[in-house]
Chain A
Amino acid sequence: MRTVTSFFGVLIGAWIVQAIHPTLALQLPGPPWNWLLTTGPVGLAASLAWWRSEHPLVRGLGSASLAIASLLSVAATCWPIAVFPVGVDAPHWLNWFGLADPLSSLPFAIAMAAVAINLAVSLGRRLRCGPDRLRFTILHLGLLTAILGGAAGHGGLIRARFIMEEGAKPGDAVTAVDGRRVRLPVALCLDDFVLDRYAPMLLVAEADGSLFRGEVLIGSGAHDLVRGLQIEVTEWLPSAAVVADRPVPFSEPGTNPAARVVIRDVGGGILGDGWLHPPGPYGSELFLALPGGRSLHLDEPRPQRYLAKIRADGVSHEITINHPLRVDGWAIYLLSYDESLGPASRTASFEAIEDRALPAVYIGLGLLILGVLMHLWKPRMAGDRV
C-alpha cells in the first residue's frame, strides 16, 4: 500500500508541475536514446524483481494495487482526448490542469512509466517463481512489449505527408511532419488516380431540416419508397452536366448522374415530376420542392473504392486504403484525394511512415492474442491470482 501512496504522491507532484508549466511537453528522443530510455529502466526493474523477488519494494512495485492505481492514472490523464477535440477546439480550462496536450504531459508519462514498471516487476517475479499461470505471463509480456515498442517507436518514428499529381516528375524527397527533409528509399510518381463510386441514392429533406436517405441505388427504372413518397425514375443520365437548369449528357471524369423522377403519394396521386442532379464540378444541384416544405434530392454518389497507380523506381504498384506499399522499412499509405473534384481528381495525398519499432509492437500484439486464446481455452478459476 505504501508503494501506491508514494506513486500517488509522485503523480500529484507531477500534476502540480504541469499545472504551473502548462506548456511543458515531453517527447522521447530519437534512436538510440528512445530504446535506452524505455527498455533500460524496465529491464532493471525486471532484473531486480528476479533477483530479490520477495523484497517489500519489489512486492509493492509488482502488486495488483499498483497495477490498478497506474492504469486508473493513465485513464485519468488521457480522458480529455476522449471527450474534447483536443488541439482543435478544446476548452480553455484544460490548460489550468495542464491537460491541453495530455499525451505529452508529465502526469501521463509518470502513469505510463508506472504501468511499465509494474508489468516488468510482475514479470520478473513470475519468471523467478516458475511457469505457473503461463497465460497471464504471456499476456503481461505481450502488453509490456507492445507498450515498449509503441513508446520507443514514437521517439524514432518518421512520418511524412505529401501530395502527388498525375504526370509529375518522380521524386524521393519529402518533408516530415517535424519539418525535416527526408529521402524515401525510392523515387515515386503518380501515374493514375482511380475513384469508383456507387450509384447515388435519394434524399428527402423535411421542413424541419432532418434528412432521410433512400435505400435503393438509383439507376434506370429504379423505384424507391422514402418517407411515404413513391419515387420512380423515368429517365436516367449516368453522366451529365447541368446547362441552363437542364441536365445534358456529358462524359468526363467527375460528372454526376442525373435522374428524372415521378413522385407519387401513397394513394398514387402525382406530387411532382422533374430532374434531380447532385451538385458537382459540372453543374449545380437540381432538386424538387414538394408540398409541406419538403424537398427531394439526389445525394452525391459515395466512394466505393479508390486506388493510386504509382511507379516506384520504374516499377508499377497499386495502393489502396487497406493495402499500403512497403519498401525498405517504409510503408506508403494512400490517405485521400481532392474530394471537391471527386473522380476528376488528378492528385492524391499519401503518408510515408518509417517505424523501426513496429516488429516489437506486432510481437507484443501477437503475444497478447496468444494469451487471450489460451485464456479462452482454459478459463480462469474464481479466486486465481491475476
Chain B
Amino acid sequence: MSTVAWWMEAGAVLCWLVAGIAAVRAIRRPGRSDGCYRWLTGLGCLLVVTLLGWLWLALDRPPLRTLGETRIWYAGLSVVAGSLVAWRLGTTSLRLPMLIMGILFLSLNLVFPQALDKTLMPALRSPLFVPHVVVYLLSYAVLGISGGMALWRFIRRHPDPDLPFRLVHAGLPLLTLGLCLGAIWAKEAWGHYWAWDPKETWALLTWIAYVALIHGERGLRERPRLALGIIAGCFVVVLMCWFLVNHLPSTAVSVHTYTRE
C-alpha cells in the first residue's frame, strides 16, 4: 500500500516541479501562455486527491491519523487553497510559494515513507475528527504560503507585506474555527474543552501570535520589513504546534501523541 502511495506522491512532486519551472518561465517571459503550468498543477492536485480518496477507501478510515498522512493533505491543500486565493485576488504571485510548500511537504513523505495501516484509536472515532483536522490543515496551508512568501520577500528585500497579510486574514479565521471544533470535540471525548495539553497550549500560542499580528497590522504596514519578518516567524509557531511539539519534553504528558506515529 505504501509503495503505491509513494509512487503517486512522486508523480505529484514531479508535476509540481515542472509546473514550478513553467511558472518561473512565465515570469521571465510575460505574455506567454501559462497552459503548461495550469495543466501540471491540476494534474498534481488530481494525483493527490486520488491518493487521498484511495487511501480513505483502502484503509477504511480517514487518512488523517499519522504525520505522513497529514503531510499529504497539507501539500494538496497548499496548492488547491493557494490557487483559489490567487484566483480570487487575481494574482500570479502565489504560484511559486504554494508549489514550493506542496513539493516540500510531499518530498518529506518520499524521504521518510510511512507504513499505512487500518487501525484508528477509539478517541478518533468522532464526526468531529475530519472537520477539526482538515480545517486546521487548511489554515496551516494558507498560513504556510503567507509565511513562505513573507520570508521570500524579506530575503529579496521586496518589502510589500500586503499579500502575506491578506493570507493571514484568510488563515486566522480557519485557525479559530479549528480551535473551536477541537474544544467541542475534547469536551465530548475527554470531558474538558480545554485541558492545557501541550498540543492545545501550542495551538493557543499559535492563535495568539496571529491575533496579535493582525491587531498590530496598521503599525506594521508602516514598517514592512519588520512585518514580513514577524509573519514568517509566526509560521515557525505553526510548525511547533503541528509537529515540532513532538520533540519537546512536554509531549510525555500529551494525549495527542498519536501524531508521533
Contacts and interface: CB of A to CB of B under 8 A. Distances in A.
Interface of A: 64, 67-68, 71-72, 74-75, 78-79, 81-89, 103, 139, 150, 159, 198, 201, 212-217, 302-306, 320-324, 331, 333, 335, 351, 353, 358, 361-362, 365, 368-369, 372-373, 375-376, 379-380, 382-383, 385-386
Given A78-B204, A365-B183, A375-B173, A386 B249 contact: no
Nearest to B221: A383
A382 B248 CA distance: 37
B173 A215 contact: no
Contacts of B130: none
20 contacts: A81-B250, A82-B201, A82-B248, A83-B248, A85-B250, A85-B252, A215-B1, A215-B116, A217-B117, A322-B122, A324-B191, A361-B183, A362-B184, A365-B180, A365-B183, A372-B180, A376-B173, A376-B174, A379-B169, A382-B162
A385 B221 CA distance: 13
B189 interface: yes
A85 B249 contact: yes
A217 B120 CA distance: 12
Interface string B108-150: 0000000111111111011000000000000000000000000
A372 B135 CA distance: 12
A303 B122 contact: yes
Given A64-B216, A83-B250, A215-B1, A372 B176 contact: yes
A323 B191 CA distance: 10
B218 interface: yes
B231 to A, nearest CB: 14
Contacts of B202: 82
Interface of B: 1-2, 115-123, 125-126, 162, 165-166, 169-170, 173-174, 176-177, 180, 183-185, 187-194, 196, 198, 201-202, 204-205, 208-209, 211-212, 214-218, 221, 245, 248-250, 252-253
A217 B118 contact: yes
A320 B189 CA distance: 9
The 4 A-B pairs of least Cβ separation, nearest first, read: A82-B201, A372-B173, A333-B191, A64-B215
A353 B117 contact: no
Nearest to B165: A382
A212 B115 contact: yes
Given A215-B117, A368-B180, 12 more contacts: A64-B216, A68-B216, A82-B205, A82-B245, A85-B249, A212-B115, A322-B189, A353-B192, A365-B184, A369-B177, A369-B180, A379-B170
A294 B224 CA distance: 56
B33 to A, nearest CB: 30
A76 to B, nearest CB: 10
Contacts of B177: 369, 372-373
A368 B198 contact: no
B163 to A, nearest CB: 10
Contacts of A333: 189-191
B118 A198 contact: yes
B201 A321 contact: no
A385 B201 CA distance: 28
B196 A103 contact: yes
